[in-house]
Amino acid sequence: MTAGDGVFAMEEMFDEQLAAEAREVKRRLRAAGVVTRLTDGETHPGGIPLALLAERFAGPGGREEPLYDIDQPDMNTTGYTRLLAVARACARHGITVAPHNFGSKLGFYSQVHAGLVTPNWEFSEADDSAFPALRADGFRLEHGRAGLTGMPGLGVALEEARLDRPVLDLRA
């Protein structure tokens, strides 16, 4: 139903125990000429289990591709250095990474650093949560792209005076 809509990816639609169902969905997508990517891994520390990283799918014309195209390990449970190792493992299987990150601005900032040195990085996930005490002067966000300004370290400063300030005044 979404064939003409240019859907980039289908996220978290499968239980990893049900690879056969994911294979069938991918078969149907490719048979219809739809290039939508399948993503998974957000529910596991470290992303898609290694056995599933190796899963292949025989597409039209016998062209093989990974069953899952994008791994989304949770940034906050996986951590920075393990995330880089996950990305290297994914690259060996032709898979890109786009880590899940919810409710953590520091996770997003870590992702930007990781993405800038990871060739198979797809995108960084950010949410709209607000943390007024964090000042991210080390980052430049323009037109959906993130970059660094050259500020030393992670690029984030903590304004301790703002730690006790509520984000929203719920009494109003």
> Which range marks the domain in which residue 148 is found?
130-172
Domain identity same for 48 and 67: yes
| pLDDT at residue 87 in the model | 96
Closest by CA position to 64, among listed 39, 97, 30: 30
**What percent of the chain lies above the pLDDT cut of 70?**
93
Tell me the per-residue pLDDT of 85-133, one tens digit each, with 9 for 90 and over. 999 999 999 999 999 998 888 889 999 999 999 999 999 988 778 888 8
- How many domains does one find in the chain? 2
Angle of CA points 136, 45, 101, to nearest 5°: 30
Q: Are residues 38 and 104 in the same domain?
A: yes
Residue 99, domain CATH: 3.20.20.120
